[in-house]
Amino acid sequence: MPTLHLVEHQESEPVELTPAQRDQISVALPRAVFLPEPGSENTYVINPKNYVGVIRAGDYTIEIQPKLDISRVLFLVAYALNPRYWRDHIVEFEDAPTLHEAIARPFAGFAERATRRGPLHGYQSIDDSLPGVRGRIRFADQIRRHQRVTTPIEVTYDEFTPDIEENRLLLAATNKLLQLRFLAEPTKQLLRRTAGRYADVTAVRYDRRHIPNPQITRLNGHYERPLALARLILGDETIELSGQAVTSTGLLFDMADVFETFVHVALRETLGLSDKNFPKNAKGHGLYLDDNQRIRLRPDLSWWDRGRCVMVGDVKYKKTIDGEGKEPDLYQMLAYTTATQVDTGFLVYAAGESEPLTHAVSLAGKQLAVETLTLSDEPEAILAEIGALAERISDARYRNEPFLSAA
């Protein structure tokens, strides 16, 4: 199977593809751009855009390296997964040669250690029809289904079982990784060994948009790290399709989502806020630009206090060349500040070549602050930048004074 080696947001060397092959890759990478090579039929230059990772699409295995060092991508991922344990994750990740191996290997290790004495058990409520009483009788169902007979009896009982959400998530992530042909054999062996411990667990296919997040308690605390990675693996951008024309499996991530999630989690932690007070995409708060509530707004960052928005911001996985921000982003931020009635809006970019600026919009009484993070820095330096940004956000929120970006 041929392999295409691509780099995030960079154009590839010209690649000759049949129409069927082009269709297979475009389905697997729906936001990728195919530029026809002038004067050459069926030859394309491919730009994968924000995608990173590895995926099998029809006849091709496609490996997309991030523009950032793998260690830096892993820091962003690990911190967003769990701000308390990111250093431990980085230690597990750091020797892996590729991004997918860097995620699969520690997951396999964490899952194997968590289940070494057997999978976690918990009580599940089960409805059943039995010849005798067990647990509680469901009288309404009994009368409706068995009016003239005494058995079977409709009951509900609690069973102590390994078939619980935590194990279903680990099994689903394990099965997904085992489908990847391009993992190192020691990683696959560890995954197979762990999979054998889930014999009594239901195999579930999760919707990546709705991955359960079990509450961590003293009973399942040893599952915290593998569960965090399982949710990452199951919530990736891979489009799983199968049919006569297209087969697509892999481990694929959108770096824009990775960066947005990192900034949201890092600011929330630094500001000491909860998900309720600092939700992503203003979740739980109907935010509209117009009176008829037809234009829905979903800012990446928003701080809510007693039902009122006191800060709004957006995160852009882009480079601002002159520190001024891009016009469409500024227009969007002006809409956010207008809808939330907040004086200052924050645009946070992934890179910039000069000091950020603040745009005063006097007619609207708004200020649009443009901030940048230096993702090539060491993790501690990035977190220090987050800390400084959090201070400026707090100053603007509490003092309600014109925002002045630090020099």
Model confidence band, residue 36 (pLDDT cutoffs 50, 70, 90): very high
d(CA 91, CA 33): 35
280 and 393 fall within a common domain: yes
74 and 149 fall within a common domain: no
109 and 210 fall within a common domain: yes
**3-class DSSP state of 339:** helix
107 and 126 fall within a common domain: no
Residue of 401, 103, 131, 365 lying closest to 253 (CA atoms) = 103
139 and 216 fall within a common domain: no
What does pLDDT average to over the chain? 86
In a domain, 262, yes or no: no
277 and 373 fall within a common domain: yes
**Residue tagged 């409706």 (tokens):** 144
Domain count, the chain: 3
In a domain, 9, yes or no: no
Q: Output the CA–CA distances (angstroms, integers) from residue 324 to 198, 347, 355, 361, 385, in the order listed.
A: 53, 10, 9, 14, 18
Query: At 299, which CATH number?
Result: 3.40.1350
In a domain, 101, yes or no: yes
pLDDT 10s digits, 91-116: 556 566 788 888 898 899 999 999 99
pLDDT value at 175 more than 80: yes
In a domain, 78, yes or no: yes
d(CA 152, CA 150): 6
d(CA 339, CA 294): 13
313 and 357 fall within a common domain: yes
pLDDT value at 391 more than 80: yes
More confident residue, 233 or 403: 233
In a domain, 294, yes or no: yes
Give me the DSSP letters along 208-256.
TTS---PPP-TTTGGGHHHHHHHHHHHTSS---EESSS-EEEEEEEEHH
366 and 293 fall within a common domain: yes
Calculate Rg over the CA atoms of the chain.
25
In a domain, 14, yes or no: no
pLDDT value at 242 more than 60: no
Task: Classify residue 56 as exposed, middle or buried by CB count within 10 Å of its CB (0-12, 13-18, 19+).
Answer: buried
| Domain final residue, candidates 180, 213, 235 | 235
pLDDT value at 402 more than 80: no
In a domain, 356, yes or no: yes
pLDDT 10s digits, 327-382: 999 999 999 999 999 999 999 999 876 677 889 999 999 999 999 999 989 999 99
What is the DSSP secondary structure assignment for residue 10, as one 8-state letter?
A: -
d(CA 268, CA 393): 11
Least confident of 34-43, 52-61, 105-114, 382-391: 52-61
203 and 350 fall within a common domain: no
307 and 365 fall within a common domain: yes
Q: Average pLDDT of 188-215?
A: 91
pLDDT of residue 298: 94
Longest dimension (CA), the chain: 83
**3-class DSSP state of 71:** helix
Task: Determine the structural domain holding residue 101 and report its residue range.
Answer: 70-118+164-235
d(CA 340, CA 335): 9
